[in-house]
Amino acid sequence: MFISSKSVAALSVAASLVSSTSAFAPKSSTTSTSTKVGAATLADAFGGITNPFAPKQQVPTPPPQAPQNDNDEDPRKGAMAIDIDGIAFSGLNGKALSLNPEDFPLAKDIRAVIPEECFEPETEKSLGYLSVSVLGTALCTAIGVNMLSVFNPDSLWTLPIWTAYSAVTGTVAMGLWVLAHECGHGGFSKNKQLQDAVGYIIHSIMLVPYYSWQRSHAVHHQYTNHMELGETHVPEPISAEDGSLAGRAALVNALGKEDGLKAWGVIQGFLHLIVGWPAYLLIGATGGPARGMTNHYYADPLTTPDQPKKELFPGNWKEKVYKSDIGIAAVLGIVAAWTACNGVGQMMALYGGPLIVVNAWLVAYTWLQHSDVDVPHFGEDDHNFVKGALHTIDRPYDKLDPWGAIDFLHHKIGTTHVAHHFDSSIPHYKAQVATDAIKEKFPELYLYDPTPIPEALWRVCKGCTAVEKRGDRWVWKNDGLEEQLEV
Predicted confidence (pLDDT) per residue in 163-187, tens digit: 999 999 999 999 999 999 999 999 9
Query: For 17, what's the count of Cα atoms within 13 Å in the CB-facing half-sphere?
Result: 28
The residue ranking higher by pLDDT, 49 or 353, is 353
> Above 50 in pLDDT, residue 43?
no
Residue 83 clears pLDDT 90, i.e. is over it:
no
- 172, 230, 302, 309, 367 from 400: Cα distances, Å: 14, 29, 40, 43, 17
Q: How far apart are CA 465 and CA 239, in angstroms?
A: 11
Length of the chain counted residue by residue: 487
The burial of 128, by beta-carbon neighbours within 10 Å (0-12 exposed, 13-18 middle, 19 or more buried), is given as middle
Least confident of 69-78, 263-272, 276-285, 353-362: 69-78
Instruction: Please state, in angstroms and rounded to a whole number, the distance separating the CA atoms of residues 386 and 111.
Output: 11
Give the per-residue pLDDT at 33: 34
DSSP lists the bridge partners of residue 394 as: 448
Of the two residues 351 and 61, the one the predictor is more confident about is 351
pLDDT of residue 82: 80
Q: Which residues, at least 6 apart from 282, have a Cβ–Cβ distance to it below 8 Å?
A: 295, 296, 297
| Range of weakest confidence among 4-8, 62-66, 292-296, 386-390 | 4-8
Per-residue pLDDT, averaged over 270-276, amounts to 96
Q: Does residue 158 contact residue 147 with C-beta atoms inside 8 Å?
A: no
Kindly state the percentage of the chain with pLDDT values over 70: 83
228/21: higher pLDDT: 228
pLDDT at 433 over 80: yes
Whether the pLDDT of residue 441 is over 90: the answer is yes
> Average pLDDT over the chain, rounded to whole?
86
* Cβ partners under 8 Å of residue 4, min gap 6: 132, 408
pLDDT value for 347: 97
Helix axes 159-185, 353-370, angle to 10 degrees: 50
Give 354-365 pLDDT, tens digit per residue.
Answer: 999 999 999 999
pTM of the prediction?
0.83
CA dist., res. 23 & res. 19, Å (int): 9
